DNA sequence: ATCATATATTTACGCGCGTAAATTATTAAT
DNA sequence: ATTAATAATTTACGCGCGTAAATATATGAT
């Protein structure tokens, strides 16, 4: 076990007795070298745990196996979950995923794309910040790198968009709420920071009108990504006012709902379907946490799995055909009602 | 505005009329060039938005301004928060932070360190997975790169350790609980995955014995990082059994407590300090979410700020002196009791 | 054994940048 | 104006790897 430090591919070529270009070829595609050669390389690999320098690799390469995945917020469990899903597809297809979070910051989002450029990705899966995004620079990026948008759309940017059908999913829960009790008011931020908020607002309004009810928007103040805090603070105020025309509140997303549930609890307003309950609260997204709220949160889950799968597959076919999409396709998946305790 | 694409430093040197080595020097330290030169460069920079290739930069460099930050789990809000704190200090000191999460996976943790190696970091701030960590390979890394451990200790690895005094913080809350009601049982995973769990268990036992009470450990099954789910599932079982010798439960961390609170709620067992409450539940860490549980979670907060600051400063002084620490220092900060509604 | 074919090696250059040494230009002080 | 100090430029090489072309070797079929 002569473990003299292997510092680069040249060193490894020496100890394995094979030329560097062949080693390079092996790492690019293990099956592109003769079987006997491959075995010799792998035997050497087992003794000296050499690994090519990832960044040097990408420096002078035509095609790479790198796929960038960019999400709006790393520590939001909703995005973390969908990113994990996408990542698995990318790995399964033999690509190397690089996941980056934009921390709610449009500049960070552009910086992420610029950083991805440096490793010459074969393609990128981008869940943009949405309205806040610097769509011009994102479009410029998409012109150079095959990019598929998911979760949030930016019109005419990227080769395709895959997301949820907010019209359907909001319609679903509005219909459910109307059918089982009073029609819901819609709780949201006046100037929402998260991507699909405006779509959901409009979907709510239309859905209410369709079933002959008057929409009621509760638009609260607040900025940034601390949605629970906003839901709690503004929710406390709204609930304490007791000026709501309904006992049912549909929140634009689960994180607002979580804050609102906490507010209701502290005001001693029992939430749920029980006899003594004075309030029903519903959310949207099936946030990982919504299983543990008190009461558990009735919500509508996005079809993570399908969105992740379709996004990845769309990108792969773009990469394989090595050409841009003729037309920009939009795919929307249906949400699924998740009935729990809160409504 | 002749925006012919600037592809590299050579191109930028041409359009700015300054030699490439000088440009390189400028990017390395803007004050190292003459003021008039600097202004010419910055004028050109404003017109052509060139930015040096980060990875090529680090390829043949002696010293870099990169500082790696590695945390056990990216999407755990607790770690996300402390990482954000550390990151700010790193930026303020003029370094460039690179944050990586190990996703609870020891191999990923090693891979993160290996990836950091490639960008030749000036130093690394590492919050290790703890017991699960491949401490041998981490030690090997620390031998090459100045590394400061925080949050979780690995004996004799790294130049220093900065964390919380679990003995103190657990003692604090045990004392509080004992003083204000029945002495607590300790709710934890039999084989804990998170770093400080064993320290906390021992601290609990000692603290109970010190105040003359018999410790009672509730050690539940479960693996992985889905603590809320474990807290809920096992908590439901434990609470339904009604075999607890006490009405007070101290959880090893807030995430377990969140699951347990949910279990109690669903079993109709009111938690808190009210007359009709049959249970008190407390946690540890002051998880960002513990403000929104029902009832809000009484816990003990770690001194994020101080830990982040001291960790960063320790690393900076190591980097500046360009030498290893004579002795491995350990700094522990006190926790602070956060009294809320649950206990 | 002979030959065509597949595979490996050699050689040489490129990626985008850091860095060192020698040279030249600029600045500030005399 | 002269000089010494400072800063910029030129030149040249290196980092760790990809890649292409020419050459050499191994393989398998005849």
Instruction: List protein-proximal bases of chain D (any atom < 7 A from a CB).
Output: 7-12, 14-21, 27
Distance of alpha carbon A202 from alpha carbon A217, whole angstroms:
10
A166-301, what's its fold? Rossmann fold (3.40.50)
State whether B265 and A115 contact (CB < 8 Å): no
Answer yes or no: are the C-beta atoms of B50 and B79 closer than 8 Å: no
Residue A244: closest CA among A298, A175, A187: A187
Distance of alpha carbon A110 from alpha carbon A134, whole angstroms:
8
Residue with tokens 């003359």: B212
State whether A54 and B261 contact (CB < 8 Å): no
State whether B55 and A118 contact (CB < 8 Å): yes
What is residue A280's predicted lDDT score, i.e. its pLDDT?
98
Ranges of residues in chain B whose predicted pLDDT is under 50: 1-2
State whether B59 and A58 contact (CB < 8 Å): no
State whether B258 and A292 contact (CB < 8 Å): yes
Q: Kindly give the confidence (pLDDT) of every residue in chain A, 343 residues in length, as a single tens digit, with 9 standing for 90 and above.
A: 344 688 899 999 999 999 999 999 999 989 888 898 999 999 999 998 899 999 999 999 988 999 999 999 988 888 988 999 999 999 999 999 999 999 999 999 999 999 999 999 999 999 999 999 999 999 999 999 999 999 999 999 999 999 999 999 999 999 999 999 999 999 999 999 888 999 999 999 999 999 999 999 999 999 999 999 999 999 999 999 998 999 999 999 999 999 999 999 999 999 999 989 999 999 999 999 999 999 999 999 999 999 999 999 999 999 988 777 778 999 999 999 999 999 9
What is residue A195's predicted lDDT score, i.e. its pLDDT?
84
State whether B55 and A51 contact (CB < 8 Å): no
d(CA A140, nearest CA chain B) in Å: 12
Question: Tokens at residue B297, please?
Answer: 């979670």
Cis preceding-peptide flag for A232 (omega within 30 of 0):
no
Residue with tokens 């059918």: A179
Are both A66-163+304-333 and A166-301 of the same fold? yes
Residues of B with CB under 8 A from a CB of A: 51, 53-56, 58-59, 74-77, 80, 114-115, 118-119, 228-229, 232, 258-259, 261-262, 265-266, 288-289, 291-296, 341
Q: How far is CA B30 from CA A119, A304, B64, B121, B154, in A?
A: 26, 46, 15, 20, 39
What is residue B320's predicted lDDT score, i.e. its pLDDT?
87
d(CA A265, nearest CA chain B) in Å: 6
B41 CA – D11 C1', rounded, Å: 22
**CB A294 under 7 Å to nucleic chain D:** no
Which residues are CB-contacts of A25 (< 8 A; sequence separation ≥ 6)?
Answer: A32, A33
A152 CA – D17 C1', rounded, Å: 37
Characterize the bridge pairing of strands B299-301 and B96-101.
unpaired
Answer yes or no: are the C-beta atoms of B212 and B246 closer than 8 Å: no
Query: Who among B59, B75, B266 is closest to A77 (CB)?
Result: B75
B231 CA – D13 C1', rounded, Å: 61
**In this structure, how many other beta carbons lie within 10 angstroms of the beta carbon of residue B122?**
20
Residue B185: closest CA among B85, B256, B83: B256
Instruction: List protein-proximal bases of chain C (any atom < 7 A from a CB).
Output: 7-12, 14-21, 27
Distance of alpha carbon A236 from alpha carbon A187, whole angstroms:
12
Backbone phi, psi, residue B309, to 5°: -65, -50
What is residue A2's predicted lDDT score, i.e. its pLDDT?
43
Query: Who among B76, B77, B232 is closest to A292 (CB)?
Result: B232
Q: Identify from B3, B51, B55 which residue to disrupt to test chain A contact, counting A C-beta atoms within 10 A and taking the largest count.
A: B55
Each residue's pLDDT tens digit, B241-256: 998 999 999 999 999 9
Each residue's pLDDT tens digit, B130-172: 999 999 999 999 999 999 999 999 999 999 999 999 999 999 9
State whether B294 and A262 contact (CB < 8 Å): yes
Give the CATH architecture of domain B66-163+304-333. 3-Layer(aba) Sandwich (3.40)
Any idea where the domains of chain B sit in the sequence?
9-52, 66-163+304-333, 166-301
Question: Tokens at residue A118, please?
Answer: 């440096």
What is residue A4's predicted lDDT score, i.e. its pLDDT?
63
Give the DSSP H or E segment for B10: helix B9-16
Query: Who among A54, A266, A292 is closest to B259 (CB)?
Result: A292
Residue B106: closest CA among B193, B28, B42: B193
State whether A292 and B262 contact (CB < 8 Å): yes
What is residue B62's predicted lDDT score, i.e. its pLDDT?
86
A66 CA – C4 C1', rounded, Å: 39
Query: Who among B59, B114, B292 is closest to A258 (CB)?
Result: B292
Burial class (CB in 10 A: 0-12, 13-18, 19+), A193: buried
What is residue A41's predicted lDDT score, i.e. its pLDDT?
93
What is residue A5's predicted lDDT score, i.e. its pLDDT?
80
Q: Report how many Cβ contacts below 8 Å link chain A to chain B.
A: 80
Q: Identify from A50, A55, A119, A276 which residue to disrupt to test chain B contact, counting B C-beta atoms within 10 A and taking the largest count.
A: A55
A55 CA – D16 C1', rounded, Å: 9
**CB A57 under 7 Å to nucleic chain D:** yes
Answer yes or no: are the C-beta atoms of A135 and A153 closer than 8 Å: no
Distance of alpha carbon B33 from alpha carbon B201, whole angstroms:
57
Give the DSSP H or E segment for A189: strand A185-189
Contacts of B295 in chain A (CB under 8 A): 265-266
Sequence-ordered alpha helix ranges (H) in A212-296: 227-241, 254-266
| Percent of residues, chain B, with pLDDT higher than 90 | 86
d(CA B314, nearest CA chain A) in Å: 27
* 3-state SS, residue A321: helix
Q: Identify from A292, A295, A297, A341 which residue to disrupt to test chain B contact, counting B C-beta atoms within 10 A and taking the largest count.
A: A292
State whether A294 and B261 contact (CB < 8 Å): yes
Residue B50: closest CA among B17, B21, B10, B19: B10
Among chain B residues, CA nearest to A117: B53
Query: Who among A58, A75, A232 is closest to B77 (CB)?
Result: A75
Distance of alpha carbon A9 from alpha carbon B311, whole angstroms:
36
């Amino acid at each position: 076990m002569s473990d003299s430090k292997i510092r680069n591919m040249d060193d490894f070529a020496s100890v394995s007795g094979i030329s560097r270009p062949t080693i390079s070829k092996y790492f690019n595609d293990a099956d592109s070298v003769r079987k006997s050669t491959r075995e010799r390389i792998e035997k050497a690999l087992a003794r000296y745990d050499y690994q090519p320098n990832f960044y040097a690799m990408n420096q002078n390469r035509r095609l790479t196996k790198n796929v960038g995945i960019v999400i709006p917020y790393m520590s939001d469990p909703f995005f973390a979950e969908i990113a994990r899903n996408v990542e698995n597809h990318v790995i399964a297809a033999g690509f190397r995923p690089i996941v980056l979070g934009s921390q709610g910051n449009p500049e960070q989002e552009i910086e992420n794309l610029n950083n991805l450029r440096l490793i010459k990705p074969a393609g990128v899966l981008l869940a943009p910040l949405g309205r806040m995004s610097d769509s011009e620079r994102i479009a410029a990026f998409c012109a150079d790198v095959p990019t598929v948008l998911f979760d949030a759309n930016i019109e005419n940017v990227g080769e395709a968009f895959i997301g949820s059908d907010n019209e359907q999913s909001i319609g679903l829960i509005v219909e459910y709420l109307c059918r089982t009790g009073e029609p819901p008011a819609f709780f949201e931020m006046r100037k929402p920071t998260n991507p699909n908020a405006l779509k959901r607002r409009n979907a709510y309004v239309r859905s209410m009108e369709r079933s002959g009810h008057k929409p009621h928007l509760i638009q609260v103040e607040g900025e940034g990504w601390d949605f629970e805090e906003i839901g709690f603070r503004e929710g406390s105020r709204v609930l304490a006012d007791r000026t709501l025309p309904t006992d049912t509140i549909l929140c634009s997303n689960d994180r607002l709902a979580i804050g609102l549930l906490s507010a209701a609890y502290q005001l001693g307003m029992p939430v749920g379907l029980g006899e003594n309950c004075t309030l029903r609260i519903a959310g949207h997204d099936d946030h990982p946490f919504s299983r543990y709220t008190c009461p558990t949160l009735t919500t509508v889950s996005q079809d993570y799995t399908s969105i992740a799968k379709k996004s990845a597959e769309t990108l792969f076919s773009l990469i394989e055909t090595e050409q841009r999409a003729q037309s920009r396709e939009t795919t929307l998946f249906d949400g699924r009602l998740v009935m729990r305790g809160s409504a």
